Structure formats: structure tokens, C-alpha cells
Structure 1
Amino acid sequence: MTPVCPFTKATRPDDTSAKKPSENQNKAQAGSDSKPKQESTISPKCPFGFDSQTFKLGPLSCMICQALLFECSKCVPCSHVYCRVCISRFKDCPLCGADVEKIEDDPDLQGVVDRFIEGHGRIKRAQTNTEEEAEGEKKTVIYEDVSLERGSFLVQQAMRALRANNIESAKSRLNVCVEDVKEQLETMGHTPELCSQLGAVLGMLGDCCRATADSSSAIAYFEESVNFLMKVPKDDLEITHTLSVSLNKIGDLKYYDGDLQAARSYYSQALDVRRDAMKHNSSVPSQILDISTSLAKVADVDRNLANEDAAVSGFKEAIKMLESLTIDDQEVGLEQRRQSVLKFVNSQLEKK
């Protein structure tokens, strides 16, 4: 299943107004005998070539984690710069091989990075040509605010940092996304698009906290994610999947903390969400795999709670679904997942 992009449908609250001529422009046009100005919309482009789709390394990127520099640090004596967390793992400079005698903060360059992030996708200005066009008409060019691109861009940078275990960098970028979306919520209300965006980003923040073993903060983020995703219509399979994953992750954290009753409650909620979604997507193999996984989680907790009959029933239902599932030969990843879950469930049933 492809990852959810939480910024695919969002619009800025002032996008509409940005495309409308001002009141003074209307009056000027009404009182003029000349032809009306042609107006075109041009999306702004990042001067460094960054966007939400292109994998781009630029002058403000860390060559180790490949995300934007965070806590920018300079190697002495070679002066190459990296994120502090990234370069602290090396004794030699990854770019030139020089011995790293010490690491110094580079606040000036970090300031440039921070200003770049603040301005990325925020360009919005009107430009009126002073020279007549070939057709004898003037064109008004408006550069839109594209915070849509800003959000996708920051999520991309955060995911790079998270994969490289630069957790604080990832959290910093995701927190900016949260602030952006909450600002829009205040203006536009709790629309499905904004709730799905915020739910997805909060879930990513939960993953960051879980990676650092901060279970209490992780649970708080996942619960907040669930709160917003619950407000989204359940007809989107990707959103439903994200919601159920967040519920399962809370269940996992409760399970490892020894709170089995709470774990079962969250696992059961995830199972209910997935069963409900299957009513409309019963032929989707990934959805059936999700339900089988949830059944196994609930059954595992039941066994630990000494509810053996319920556990056996859950394991058997999961096995029946997995054995009847037909997966296309090209879906190698799904088939590997099916075999893995089936192996686990069979092993649990044999322990009866």
C-alpha cells in the first residue's frame, strides 16, 4: 500500500481571493475604454529546484541524511557542513576524508536554512507588465501562495531525516507542518482534507517519539492523530488504513507497557475500522491482510488475558482469511506479508 500524502487536496484559505482582482482594479477597468487585462496564474518555483516530488540535494542539504541542514555544524579543519547529529557519528569527513578535529556550530548558515524554510512556497505577489504586449494588451501575472507545496516539501524532508535517524530534524520539520495546518483549521474549519493532513503528520510525529523510546509522547501524538482522522469520511481506503495503523501503534505501546486491557481495546478499534472499510473494498488484498493482522493482535492479547477460546477463534478466522486470499504474482511484497502473518498465526494456534 502506498504511503498517504497528506497534502494532495489542500487549498489555502486565501487562494480564491488571490486570484480575484482588487476592488480598485475593478473600478479602474470599469472606467477604461481599453481592453481588459489578461490575467494568468503562475506557480512560484523554488530557486534551488526543490519541490514536493523531486528528490533534490541542494546547497542547504546535509550530504549524510540528505535532508535540509538541522543544527548546522562545520567540520574543522575542512569546513564541510552537516547536521550535528549526522556528523557526530564520523571521525573523518564523509566528503573529503579529512580527520575531524572538532565540530563547530554554524549559526549563520543555519539562519539561512531557517529563512529558506519559512519562505518556501510562501511567495505571493502581483506583477503588472509596464510594456504593451504584442496584441496591445497588458497582462497581470499573479504568483500564488502554494503552502500545499510547502507542506509536501517539509514532509519529504522529515521522512529523509527520519530514515537517517536524525529524529530531531524530522520533528522540527513536522512541527512546522502542524502549525501550518492548524492555522488553516482556524480559518477554514475542520474540513476532511485538513483533518486528514493533520492526522497523518501527527502520526509521523508519533513515529519520531517511538523511535526515541518516548512512549508517552508517542501515544499522545497517535491519539491526537486518531482524533482528527475520525473526523474524515471513511470512504477513503488510504485514510482508513492510516487511522487503523495509528490505533494499532497505540495498542502496541500499551502492550509493551503491560497494559493488556488497553492494548486489546485499541486493537479492537483498529479491527472494527478495518472490517467496516472491507464492506466497501472486500476485493482489495491489502485490506484483507490488514484485517488478518488485527485479528492476530486481538487473539494474542486474549491468550495473554487467559481468554483461550476467544484467542483460538481469532487465530482460526485469520488463517481462513489468509488461506483463501489470492494475490497477483506481481504483488511480491503482499505475498511475503501474507506468508509472514500466516506463519505467525499458525505457530500461535499450535501452542494451544
Structure 2
Amino acid sequence: MSSLCPFAKLASAGATCPVKSDNKTTSCPVNHTDDDNEKTGNANTDPRVVPAKCPFGYDSNTFKLGPLSCMVCHALLHQSSKCTPCSHKFCKACILRFKDCPLCGADIQGIEPDDELQGLVDRFIDGHARIKRSHAAGDGEFASDKTKVIYEDVSMERGAFLVQQAMRAFRAQNIESAKSRLSMCAEDIREELKSKEDNQELCSQLGAVLGMLGDCCRTLGDAPSAITYYEESAEFLSKLPKKDLEVFVHTLSVSLNKIGDLHYYDGDLHSARSYYARSLDVRRSAVKEHSAVASQVIDVATSLAKVADVDRNLGNESMAVEGFEEAIKCLENLKLESGEASLEQRRLSVLDFLQKQLDDK
């Protein structure tokens, strides 16, 4: 799952993301690692707004662990389950991996659902990141209670919270939990888009979250659902300004490549080539505008290798060789600074793959 936070552009200056994960494309004819990005959310600055206070210490910037968290995946409990006889509580998917309690070491004789605790977690999530706004004339409908306080969702804070919980769960291999949190986030953004159909920030957020949902489905082995999410992600990301390298180029091209990967390993080479070629077009356009960005040049070479690999498998050897040679030329002409060791390692890795492909012709 990508560590790119879909709520990045609303982040406060100097803030950092509490979770950072590597996003590696594992089902790909060319092995490579996509760039990481550190993001976070930011608080509402309206002077009339009083941020909600959580008794367990949670907030949108620190995401502290508390009694509603699973001590295995460090995310909020999902399908809360209790071990017997020790009564310690974890996510169902997490505790099923153990034969003895990871907290006390007692042998697990059984696992029981804790619906009461899960209900509390669900209520907490439902209310988290809602702000309390004192009612004033013209602010809208009166609240039903006597205090005349209106609760409204702050999509940025709630979205950032749900995404970070999902990333924690995904990193700990609790994929169902990650998928559940991301689905809630996607529903929130879709609801916002009903009244703000052309909002670029919301399209960016939804595109990124849908891509993460695709990662969840791919990990669970549900390729059709993964492709559906990736395609919808690409649809929303395609609405964004093409000058945005981070969102448009990186996230969109990776989503297109992932669709291609799924078709590639399903044996549908023609569909795979179509998506790889679309990703290549996106990256070529980016290099024209940002020729000095080394990572973009390496991405172009990687996409050329993907397309050429499929051409070879389709029997188009001359086209494959042409693609491999173009990719090698891109990488050989790329000059990196001494401080760009990670990019140099990636450049050499892709270059080694390409040279081996030519040797095999």
C-alpha cells in the first residue's frame, strides 16, 4: 500500500506522518520500488470551532494507542475478539495467528467475539474528528438539543485518521481492517463530492484511497475487485492538473501499472500492454515538463521495460528490443548527484534487468 497520504495538501507546514510504509510492486514483470511520501492532516482554524476532545488521547496528528487499539497491529480494533481464559482482546485477524496470548503468554483455549467492545470502537470512529461548532444566526439548522451545538464532519481530519489506521493495519497484515477503514473514508469523500463534483482536492483524495483499496483486494487475492478499484482510482486522478507530479504522475501511473500487472499475471497480455502503455504515456509527458527530475526518468525506463516485456511475450521481438534499448539509453544518460544513492541503486537495478533482456534476445 502506498504511503502517499491523500490529505497531504491540507497538511500543516513542517508536519510529518506518524506512519511510513514501503510500497513495493510485488506482482510486476519488472521489480521496482515506488517512492514514499510522508504526509499528515491539519486542524481546522475557524475561531468558532472547538476541536473535539477524546478521553483516550487520540487526535489527528499523533494517533496515540489506547484501550480501543489492538496491541498486535496498533490500529483500532476490527472484529474485536477475546482470548479465553486470559480475556485479553485483539482484532480477530490478528489473534488468529497466535497459539498463545501475545500479551501474557497464556495458551489460547478459545476466541470469542466481543460485540460490546466493537460497538464502542464503532461509535468512537463514527464520532471521531467531528467538530463542535457553537450555533450562530445563519449557520444552518438548529441542533435538536437545548445547547444548540452543531456537530459537523471535518473530512480532512477524519479522512487522515482513517487512512492512518488503515496503513497501520495493512502494515501488520490485518488487511480486512485496513479495507474497512478505507471503505469508510471513501464513502465520506463520495458524500462530499455530491455537492462539490469538480473539487480537485476531493478527486485527489478519493483517487488515492481507491488505489489503497485496490491494494487491499490484491493482497486478499481478489483481482477483479482490485482492478475495479484501480480503474476508478485512475478515473478520478485523470481529472487532476497534469502538472501535479506527486499526485497525477506518480499515483496515476502506479495505479495503471497495477492494473497491467493483474492482467499480466492473469495471462491477458493485450490488456496488460494497454495499461502499461497508458502509464508510459503519463510518465513521458511528465519528463517533458520535468526533465531534471531523476525519479521520473527512471519511471519512464521502467514503463518502457514493462511494455517491451509484454511485446516479447506477444512475439513482437523487434518492438521489444527497441523498447529495451530506449530504456537503457534513458538510464545511461541519467546523471545523478552523489547524495542520490537510493536512486542510483534503483537505476542500476532496472539497467541490469534491461541488459539481461537484451542478452536473452
The residue aligned with 2:109 is 101
Q: How far does residue 160 in structure 1 lie from its aligned partner after superposition?
A: 1.0
CA distance in 2, matches of 1:336, 1:145: 44
CA distance in 1, matches of 2:286, 2:61: 29
> Is the 2:60–2:129 Cα contact (8 Å) retained in structure 1?
no
> Is the 1:202–1:225 Cα contact (8 Å) retained in structure 2?
yes
Find the residue that maps to 1:124 and give its secondary structure.
Answer: strand
The residue aligned with 1:135 is none
Higher helix share: 1
Q: How far does residue 317 in structure 1 lie from its aligned partner after superposition?
A: 1.0
CA distance in 2, matches of 1:287, 1:53: 31
The residue aligned with 1:326 is 335
**Aligned match of 2:356 in 337, 344, 347?**
347
> Is the 2:155–2:189 Cα contact (8 Å) retained in structure 1?
no
> Is the 2:49–2:131 Cα contact (8 Å) retained in structure 1?
no
Judged with a 3 Å threshold, the aligned counterparts in structure 2 of structure 1 residues 49 and 332 are, in CA distance, closer, same or farther, namely farther
Matches within 5 A, 1:100-249: 100-126=108-134, 145-239=153-247, 240-249=249-258
> Is the 1:302–1:311 Cα contact (8 Å) retained in structure 2?
yes
CA distance in 1, matches of 2:350, 2:63: 33
Q: How far does residue 55 in structure 1 lie from its aligned partner after superposition?
A: 5.0
Find the residue that maps to 1:241 and give its secondary structure.
Answer: helix
1:351 alignment partner AA? D
CA distance in 1, matches of 2:194, 2:243: 25
Judged with a 3 Å threshold, the aligned counterparts in structure 2 of structure 1 residues 46 and 237 are, in CA distance, closer, same or farther, namely farther
Find the residue that maps to 2:289 and give its secondary structure.
Answer: coil
CA distance in 1, matches of 2:54, 2:300: 43
> Is the 1:92–1:99 Cα contact (8 Å) retained in structure 2?
yes
1:156-186 residue CA offsets vs partner (Å, 9 max, x unmatched): 1101111111111111000001110000000
The residue aligned with 1:6 is 6
CA distance in 2, matches of 1:168, 1:145: 25
Q: How far does residue 145 in structure 1 lie from its aligned partner after superposition?
A: 4.2
> Is the 2:135–2:150 Cα contact (8 Å) retained in structure 1?
yes
> Is the 1:46–1:121 Cα contact (8 Å) retained in structure 2?
no
**Aligned match of 2:283 in 267, 274, 287?**
274
Find the residue that maps to 1:82 and give its secondary structure.
Answer: strand
> Is the 2:50–2:133 Cα contact (8 Å) retained in structure 1?
no
> Is the 2:231–2:259 Cα contact (8 Å) retained in structure 1?
yes
> Is the 1:43–1:146 Cα contact (8 Å) retained in structure 2?
no
CA distance in 2, matches of 1:181, 1:82: 29
CA distance in 2, matches of 1:88, 1:345: 43
1:307 aligns with 2:307: no
Find the residue that maps to 1:273 and give its secondary structure.
Answer: helix
CA distance in 1, matches of 2:211, 2:55: 31
CA distance in 2, matches of 1:279, 1:203: 26
Larger Rg computed on CA atoms = 1
CA distance in 2, matches of 1:42, 1:144: 11
Q: How far does residue 236 in structure 1 lie from its aligned partner after superposition?
A: 0.8
CA distance in 2, matches of 1:10, 1:186: 20
Normalised by the length of structure 1, the TM-score is 0.84
Residue identity (%): 66
Structure 2, unaligned runs of 5 or more: 12-44, 137-148
Find the residue that maps to 1:232 and give its secondary structure.
Answer: coil
Structure 1, unaligned runs of 5 or more: 12-17, 20-38, 129-140
CA distance in 1, matches of 2:336, 2:60: 32
The residue aligned with 1:77 is 85
Find the residue that maps to 2:131 and give its secondary structure.
Answer: coil
CA distance in 2, matches of 1:145, 1:332: 43
CA distance in 1, matches of 2:54, 2:286: 39
CA distance in 2, matches of 1:180, 1:111: 20
> Is the 1:44–1:144 Cα contact (8 Å) retained in structure 2?
no
Question: How many equivalent residue pairs?
Answer: 315
Q: How far does residue 127 in structure 1 lie from its aligned partner after superposition?
A: 7.8
